[in-house]
Structure 1
Amino acid sequence: MFRIEYLKVLGHPQLGELELSLSDIKEINNIEKPYTSVIIGPNGTGKSFILRTISDILTQFNLYQLTGIKSINLPFSIHLRYKCNSDIYEMMSGFIVLDKSKKRREYYFFKNRPFGNIENIFLNNDEKKYQINYNQLDFPSHVIVNSVMLNDRFLFKKSKPKDFYQYLGVRATSSTASTKSAVKGVIEKLFSESMSNENFLNNLKELLSFLDFENKFEVEYNTKLNKLFFTGELTIKDFKQYYENWWDKEYEYTDRKKDNPIWSKPFYDNFYKEDESKIKEIVDYLNDLSKNGILKHKNRSRSKLLKVDFFDKEIDNNEYWKIIDLEKLDIINVNSINLIKNNSSLNINEISSGEYHLLISLIGIFSKIKENSLVLIDEPEISLHPNWQMQYITFLKKVFSKCASCHFIITSHSHFIVSDLEGNSSSVTALNRDIETSKLDARLLSGNTFGWSAEDVLYNVFNVRSVRNYFIQADLTDLLGLISENSKNKVKIMSLVKKLNELQTSENDPLKAVLIEANSYLDKL
């Protein structure tokens, strides 16, 4: 089981000094469902930077443990406490003064230390007995970061399957993003996971059902160079000629010069050139595709279409690998992903942005998650219909029920997502920035918000009032009633005044007059 309990940073470039709890200690040992921590707060309170900070800390120290090279690049002090399996680990840092002009940041690690801050970096004997070396730390199996925003705060990396850090955002490079690259990434995950992960397609079915699509997920490819590869009479000699002697004047399929090789040649050289049996296998497959009527005609084009439905049980792993290789050999290229909704066929570029974002992001998580993973998701509600926002957490807990040891930390502005949090396996941490000092404050909210109405969450969690908010009306009625009755219940009146005073109001708001009267009444008690 992996759970983050507590994070404190000092001197953080964006967060300054911040201390926050991310798990309710009373619920942290619940392993029936994945644990979900939701971080809420106004724009500019650094929610995304909190996720980035957590991922940076764990990723850098994991790399330190794997390599022994202390290349820690954290320009701030930290205290991170987390549970991994049955043990509690802590990473802490502070400065040691070397002389009047120099100081050095040192890192300390603890196992199963009673919870508390170390105010002085010089440890006492009681604290030293819990101290461990960095190579004794346990880590989550993966840190998975996910966002549908083009300017997400996460470190961009083209993650390999076994990497500790898994970037699942929409960026294709550190500074660019495109629909095409995102779709290509989804297709790569579809092929690899369909062959190796027995839960993947079941989770995909659940996702399609959640979005009201039918059980069809079809990748459509265009064929290339039909006169060479798709005649039904392709030979090994012609196949090799294309990749090894493309400049030959008598060769009719390309007009490239010798110094301008085919871009897929490196893949051919690495995986096919020295293996004639493999060449024969792919040549036979291409001829079978052409002869057996599998390819479909494409309107107004010489290309043909190869369609692969991932719920087609007749396709085996051997055929999946051949299709993957055909794309890498540049013999076919992706045309679209096709889905069915309300008996109508749609390609992935025709579905709504909410549907698109949810498909892209969750397929990525399906492909990477394993037991004891930490999953960081930044504002998943973007473009989602309110009905899906209200069911988002419940859906996560359902499809990832076999990964109950995982911890999902989610930032959000959505009151609908907060209303979907179960009390025994979720927490809400609220951020607020003081207007006068700009200092950030974080508090772990108590109570169960599951099933609350939108007005209830807006008022009691986000401190935002809607035009017809029943809860504001009820509090105002109680306050005015106590004043009109000349009540001596000062504690009750003060509680209501404080609650109403925290709401954001304009100078012309009638609530201002009520609060002035209430404060005047309190002064007389």
Structure 2
Amino acid sequence: MTKAFRLEYVHFKNSKEFERQFYNFSLKENIHSKAAYTTVVIGPNGTGKSRLLKAVVDILNDLYNKKHEDSNFKYRPIHQGGYEISYYMGLDRYKVNYDTYEYELSINDDPISIDKLEMPDSCIAAAYTLHEKFVMNNDYPGRINRYSDKYNSNFYNYLGIKSQNNYAFSSANINKALDLITEAISNEGFNKDIQKVFKFLNFNAAITITYDIRKHHS
């Protein structure tokens, strides 16, 4: 039986990248629940939402690589600096304290080795914004996999709109994003889900797409 993954918190130690060092992702009433739930990170553009999520992805990816380290995949940490991460797999709480290549791991506060660390089966970055920070690692046509030695495709997969061909062109990303949004809106399941999100956020039940393509002339 698959256990639900629930991220509790991430603590970045002496990080220059994040103004805040501690991020809590879990409500107290959900800690002992067996059900999976979705965490929504909300904030204005440019405040570091995707940067924070990418840091979480990098930490989980590093732990996966460390746990499955072998001669065919050289383990090299992506996330630089110390951190502490706590998450639940089912009702079991796992905590990892990392500092200068030294790991302290525990389950329900009892020390364990890396091979006993339970993790999510996979990590998927499904991103549809123009400036998200996630790394492309898939070998799709036209996409170069420059991170195969760091982002193991057995665990991490990028399903966003960027590709090697259109990575630098915002107009291509805009057109692709519009196609994806239009296609999603026609899906009944998407409509039900987005209505729940709007109701939770106390937003009007409407989606307005506004964009402007500007051409700069030298």
Q: Does 1:89 align with 2:94?
A: yes
Q: In structure 1, how many angstroms separate the alpha carbons of the residues matched to 2:125 and 2:181?
A: 14
Partner Cα distance (2:128, 2:7) in 1: 24
Does residue 164 of structure 1 match 2:167? no
Cα distance change on mapping 1:13 and 1:420 into 2, 3 Å:
farther
How far the C-alpha of 1:172 sits from its partner, in A, is 1.3
1:10-44 deviation digits (Å, cap 9, x = unpaired)? 23342144212111121244455x41111122333
The secondary structure found in structure 1 opposite 2:55 is: helix
The aligned counterpart of 2:103 is 107
Q: Is structure 2 residue 77 aligned with structure 1 residue 58? A: no
* C-alpha deviation, 1:359, in angstroms: 3.8
What is the rounded CA distance, in whole Å, between the counterparts of 1:91 and 1:352 in structure 2? 37
User: For 1:215-241, what per-residue CA distance to the aligned partner results, in whole angstroms no more than 9, with x for missing partners?
Assistant: xxxxxxxxxxxxxxxxxxxxxxxxxxx
Q: CA deviation at 1:86?
A: 3.1
TM-score (norm 2): 0.68
Q: SS of the counterpart of 2:126? A: strand
Q: Which has the higher helix share?
A: 1
CA distance in 2, matches of 1:140, 1:358: 31
* Secondary structure, counterpart of 2:199 in structure 1: coil
Aligned with 2:47 (options 21, 29, 45) = 45
Whole-angstrom distance in 1 between the partners of 2:107 and 2:193: 37
Separation in structure 2 between the aligned mates of residue 168 and residue 132 of structure 1, nearest angstrom: 33
**Correspondence for 1:22:** 25
SS at match of 1:62: helix
Q: In the comparison of the two structures, how many residue pairs are matched?
A: 181
| Aligned pair partner of 2:126 in 132, 142, 146 | 146
* Cα deviation digits, residues 170-197 of structure 1 (max 9, x gap): 1112972789x99xxxxxxxxxxxxxxx
Is this contact kept in 2: 1:170–1:178, CA < 8 A? no
Deviation at 1:391, TM superposition (A): 4.6
Q: Please tell me whether the aligned partners of residues 34 and 91 of structure 2 are also in contact (alpha carbons under 8 angstroms).
A: no
Alignment-derived partner of residue 210 in structure 2: none
Secondary structure of 1:71 counterpart: coil
Asked if structure 2 preserves the Cα contact closer than 8 Å seen for 1:7 and 1:19, the reply is: yes
Q: Distance in 1 between matches of 2:6 and 2:194?
A: 20
Give me the whole-angstrom Cα distance separating, in 2, the residues matched to 1:67 and 1:87.
Answer: 24
The match for 2:149 is: none
Q: In 2, distance between residues paired with 1:81 and 1:393?
A: 31
Query: What RMSD in Å do the two structures reach over aligned CA positions?
Result: 3.6
* TM-score, structure 1 normalization: 0.30
Residue 80 (structure 1) aligns with: 85
Q: How far 1:53 moved relative to its partner?
A: 0.5
The one-letter code of the counterpart of 2:42 is I
List per-residue Cα deviations over 1:358-409 (Å, max 9, x = no partner): 647xx9xxxxxxxxxxxxxxxxxxxxxxx96x95273xxxxxxxxxxxxxxx
Does the 8 Å CA contact 1:9/1:19 hold for their aligned counterparts? yes
In structure 2, runs of 5+ residues without a counterpart are 141-152, 205-218
Letter paired with 1:111: I
Contact 2:32–2:91 at 8 Å: present in 1 too? no
* Larger Cα-atom Rg: 1
Match of 2:167 in 1: 176
Q: Measure, in 2, the Cα distance between the counterparts of 1:35 and 1:393.
A: 17
Structure 1's 358 and 31: CA in aligned 2 closer, same or farther, altered over 3 A?
Answer: farther
1:135 is matched with which residue? 115
Match of 2:209 in 1: none
Bigger RCO (CA 8 Å, 6+ sep): 1
1:201-350 matched pairs, under 5 angstroms = none
Give the share of equivalent positions with the same residue, in percent: 23
Tell me: CA distance 1:7–1:70, structure 2 relative to 1, closer, same or farther (3 Å). same
2:194 is matched with: 392
Cα distance in 1 for residues equivalent to 2:102 and 2:51: 23
* Aligned match of 1:420: 199
Match of 1:325 in 2: none
2:14/2:21 contact within 8 Å kept: no
Unaligned runs of 5+ in 1: 95-103, 114-129, 183-348, 364-386, 395-416, 422-448, 455-525
